[in-house]
Amino acid sequence: MKILLDTNIVLDVLMDRIPFSDAATELFSKVEDGTVIGYLCGTTITTVYYLAAKTVGAPRAREEIKKLLSLFEVAPVNRLVLESALVADFNDLEDAVIHEAACHVGAEAIVTRNQKDFKKSGIPVYSSEELAKILA
């Protein structure tokens, strides 16, 4: 199963945001052991770097990004993804880009804490808790 994790799920793990980090960490483990193929949107990488660099400094932020890149595939954000996102029926462009990037890599699920933002998704959308239970 191919899954794409929204930026907030990655931040839950990296920032140990309780109570969300437990299920999100479980999904990271499922990616690591090959149970699922995990994707991150290209924009997630840059957003995580920006936020991490402000909090822990650029050198540590780069190390965290390297770890993410060793674990996850990257769903590219190219012209086609951006044009698709612009015409998608989403309220927020960032969410539309994540959705379209997921579609373009054939993701079978999007994992997010903001399911309401993905009401128009053509792909099943789960919270990390929901998907962790399904994969258990």
The pTM score is 0.94
In the prediction, which pLDDT does 119 show?
94
Q: Is the pLDDT of residue 81 over 90?
A: yes
Check residue 89 and report its DSSP letter. Answer: S
49, 40 Cβ separation under 8 angstroms: no
Q: Is residue 91's pLDDT more than 90?
A: yes
In whole angstroms, what separates CA 124 from the centre of its chain? 14
Over residues 58-63, mean pLDDT: 94
pLDDT, mean of residues 93-101: 98
For tokens 């990037």, the residue is: 101
25: its two tokens: 């960490």
The pLDDT of residue 15: 87
- Write the class of the CATH domain 2-131: alpha beta
- The two counts, helices (H) then strands (E), for the chain are 7, 5
The whole-angstrom separation of Cα 50 and Cα 57 is 9
